[in-house]
C-alpha cells in the first residue's frame, strides 16, 4: 500500500508503522518502521527532511506477517487502548497513524480484511467521523468496499493511499491456498466460491459496476458469468445474444417473466429465498426494457449467486453438513416456494439441482431456475392440463402429471419437495429415476413388473412415514407425498409444520416452551 503526502505534514500524519517495508522478509517485525522503510525513533517522530514529497515507502499486506488481531484483519489508526491508557502499546494497530481527528482520521478508523463467500480483499470504514472514499466512491460508516481492481485509490480524510495488487499470475494458486487457510481458520469463513475468488487482473471486464470473474455456464444463445461489485455482493450475469428474431423474442419473454415475478413478489419478505432479476444492462450500458429491445446483447443481473446446489453440497457431501443446517436450508426452500405460490406461480421443476446453497454459515438457500415457472392465477390446485413426461424431472414427478389429461398445479411442487426431503434425510432416492411408476399408459422404459415394484416401494415408504411423530420431518414428508393432490399437504401449510417452524421461526418455539412451562408451574 503506497501512501501519498497530501496537504498534511508527513510527520504529523504518519508517526510510524508496525511493519512497513517493500521487502517484508528483510524487515524486522519487532522494530517499528517509518514510511521510508528505516527504523523510527523511540519518540514516534519522523523527520520530514529525510522523506521525499511523495512517499516512497509501502505497507505490504502479506501472510508472511499476519495482522496483530489476526481473527479480524489489519487495522489502521491509533488504537483506542493506546489513546486512553497511558503507556499502552501502540502497535495494537498494524498501521499506526497519529493524525488529528479533525483531519478526518479516527482511532482504529479502517479495517482491511477478506469478505465471506468471495474472499475479496476489502476495506471497512469503522468510524462515523472518518471520511473514507475508494476510487472516488464514499464508503459509509460500518460498510465494506471490495478492492476489485489491480490499482485503486483510497482516501481517508486528507490522507491518500495507492492500493496495488502485486500477486503474479504464477503465484495465484499459492496465494489463494494461503488466503483460504487464513480466512477459514482465523476469520471463520467458508471456503470462497471458486468462480469469484481470484485476485484482480489488469484485463478485468466490467458490465456496469459489476466485475466479471469467470464463465459459470453456457447455452446456445447465452453465457453465464459470476460477478461481484464493490460492496461485495455476488450475482450471476446472464448475457443473452439477440442476433435474430427467435433469439430476440426468447430474450424478451425471459426478461418480462423475471420482471413480472419481481413485481409480484416485491412485498413478500420470503422473496429473499428466490433468485430474482436485480438489474438489466444492454450493450450500450442502458437499462430500460425498451432500450434492450433494440440492443444486440442484453445482460440480466440475477441474484443470488449460489456456491452450489443441494445435490452438490447436501447430497453428495451429506456427511460434511450438519443435520440442523440441512433442516434450515430445506425450510427456506419451502418459504421461497410458498411465496411463489402466493403470487400465483407454480415452479414445475423442483429438484436438488434447482435448489441452491448460498452459504452454510449461516445457512442460506435459494430457489433456482424460476424462468420456467408458470403463472396460474385461477384454480391453482388443478392448474393446467399437462402432457405426461413434459413437466418436471423423472424421479420428482407428481402422480397426476403422469396421466393423460392430468393436471399441473401447485400441488406438484409439494410432491417434488417431498421427494427432495426424502433423499436429504434418508440418503436415498424415493424413485430410481429411470422411469416414473405412475405413468399411464405404462412407461416404455420399464416393464409392468418394474412399475409395480416401484409403486410397492412407494406404498411401503408412506406406511413407514405415517408412523412418525407429528412434529417430525418424516410426518411432514408423509403429507407431501400423498398420491392425490386433494389430500396432499400444501406448501403454504407445510411452512407452518413444527419441523420447519423450529428452523424458520425459532422464536415461536421458545415462546411455546415458555407457555408450556408456565402452564405446568402456575
DSSP output for 113-159: EE-TTT--EEEEE--TT--EEETTEE--TT-EEE--SSEEEEEETTE
Distance, in Å, from the CA atom of 212 to the CA atom of 195, rounded to the nearest integer, reads 10
Rg (CA), the chain: 29
Q: Which three cell numbers stand for residue 240?
A: 443473452
Residue 53 has pLDDT above 50, yes or no: no
* pLDDT band at 159; cut points 50, 70, 90: confident
Top-tier CATH class for 205-303: alpha beta
Whether omega before 399 lies within 30 degrees of 0, making that bond cis, reads no
The residue count of the chain comes to: 522
* pLDDT band at 290; cut points 50, 70, 90: low
Q: What are the tens digits of pLDDT across the range 175-187?
A: 899 999 999 999 9
Q: What is the pLDDT of residue 101?
A: 61
Mean pLDDT across the chain = 79
Q: Which of 281-290, 306-315, 323-332, 471-480 is predicted least confidently? A: 281-290
Which residues of the chain are in CATH 1.10.510.10 domains? 308-508
Which residues of the chain are in CATH 3.30.200.20 domains? 205-303
CATH fourth-level superfamily of 308-508: Transferase(Phosphotransferase) domain 1 (1.10.510.10)
φ/ψ of 113, rounded to 5, equals -160, -165
Q: How many CB atoms lie within 10 A of CB 493?
A: 14
Residue 50 has pLDDT above 70, yes or no: no
Q: What are the tens digits of pLDDT across the range 109-156?
A: 889 999 988 899 999 998 887 789 999 999 999 999 999 888 889 888
Distance, in Å, from the CA atom of 419 to the CA atom of 480, rounded to the nearest integer, reads 8
pTM: 0.79
Amino acid at each position: 500500500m503506497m501512501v501519498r503526502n497530501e496537504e498534511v505534514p508527513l510527520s504529523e500524519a504518519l508517526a510510524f508503522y508496525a511493519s512497513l517495508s517493500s521487502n517484508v522478509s528483510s524487515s524486522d517485525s519487532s522494530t517499528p518502521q517509518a514510511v521510508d522503510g528505516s527504523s523510527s525513533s523511540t519518540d514516534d517522530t519522523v523527520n520530514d527532511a529525510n522523506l521525499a514529497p511523495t512517499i516512497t515507502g509501502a505497507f505490504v499486506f502479506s501472510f508472511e506477517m499476519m495482522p496483530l488481531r489476526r481473527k479480524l484483519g489489519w487495522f489502521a489508526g491509533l488504537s483506542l487502548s493506546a489513546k486512553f491508557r497511558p503507556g499502552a502499546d501502540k502497535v495494537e494497530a498494524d498501521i499506526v497513524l497519529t493524525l488529528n481527528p479533525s483531519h478526518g482520521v479516527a482511532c482504529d478508523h479502517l479495517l482491511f480484511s477478506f469478505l465471506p463467500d468471495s474472499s475479496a480483499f476489502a476495506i471497512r470504514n469503522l468510524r462515523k467521523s472518518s471520511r473514507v472514499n475508494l476510487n472516488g466512491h464514499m464508503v459509509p460508516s460500518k460498510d465494506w468496499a471490495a478492492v476489485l481492481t489491480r490499482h485503486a485509490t483510497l482516501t481517508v480524510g486528507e490522507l491518500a493511499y495507492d492500493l496495488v495488487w502485486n500477486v503474479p499470475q504464477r503465484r495465484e494458486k499459492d496465494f489463494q491456498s494461503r488466503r483460504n487457510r487464513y480466512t477459514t481458520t482465523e476469520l471463520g469463513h467458508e471456503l470462497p466460491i471458486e468462480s469469484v475468488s481470484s485476485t484482480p487482473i489488469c484485463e478485468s471486464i466490467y458490465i456496469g459496476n459489476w466485475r466479471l470473474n469467470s464463465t459459470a455456464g453456457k447455452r446456445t444463445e447465452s453465457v453465464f458469468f459470476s460477478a461481484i461489485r464493490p460492496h461485495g455482493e455476488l450475482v450471476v450475469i446472464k448475457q443473452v445474444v439477440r442476433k435474430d428474431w427467435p433469439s430476440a423474442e426468447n430474450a424478451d419473454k425471459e426478461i418480462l417473466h423475471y420482471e413480472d415475478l419481481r413485481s409480484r413478489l416485491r412485498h413478500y419478505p420470503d422473496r429473499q429465498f428466490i433468485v430474482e432479476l436485480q438489474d438489466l444492462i444492454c450493450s450500450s450500458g442502458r437499462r430500460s426494457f425498451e432500450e434492450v429491445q433494440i440492443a444486440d446483447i442484453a445482460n440480466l443481473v440475477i441474484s443470488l449467486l449460489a456456491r452450489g446446489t443441494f445435490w452438490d453440497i447436501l447430497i453428495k457431501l451429506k456427511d460434511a453438513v450438519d443435520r440442523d443446517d440441512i433442516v434450515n436450508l430445506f425450510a427456506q426452500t419451502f418459504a421461497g416456494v410458498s411465496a411463489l405460490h402466493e403470487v400465483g406461480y407454480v415452479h414445475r421443476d423442483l429438484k436438488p439441482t434447482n435448489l441452491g446453497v448460498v452459504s452454510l454459515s449461516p445457512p442460506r438457500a435459494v430457489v433456482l431456475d424460476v424462468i420456467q415457472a408458470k403463472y396460474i392465477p385461477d384454480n391453482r390446485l388443478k392448474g393446467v392440463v399437462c402432457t405426461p413426461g413434459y413437466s418436471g424431472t423423472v424421479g420428482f414427478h407428481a402422480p397426476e402429471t403422469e396421466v393423460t389429461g392430468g393436471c399441473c398445479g401447485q400441488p406438484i411442487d409439494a410432491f417434488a419437495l417431498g421427494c427432495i426431503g426424502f433423499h436429504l434425510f434418508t440418503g436415498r432416492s424415493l424413485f430410481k429415476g429411470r422411469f416414473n411408476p405412475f405413468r399411464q399408459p405404462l412407461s416404455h422404459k420399464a416393464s409392468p413388473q418394474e412399475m409395480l415394484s416401484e409403486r410397492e416401494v412407494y406404498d411401503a415408504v408412506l406406511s413407514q412415514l405415517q408412523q412418525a411423530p407429528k412434529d417430525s420431518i418424516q410426518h411432514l414428508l408423509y403429507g407431501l407425498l400423498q398420491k392425490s393432490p386433494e389430500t396432499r399437504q400444501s406448501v403454504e401449510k407445510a411452512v407452518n409444520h413444527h419441523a420447519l417452524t423450529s428452523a424458520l421461526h425459532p422464536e415461536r418455539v421458545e415462546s411455546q416452551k415458555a407457555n408450556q412451562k408456565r402452564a405446568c408451574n402456575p
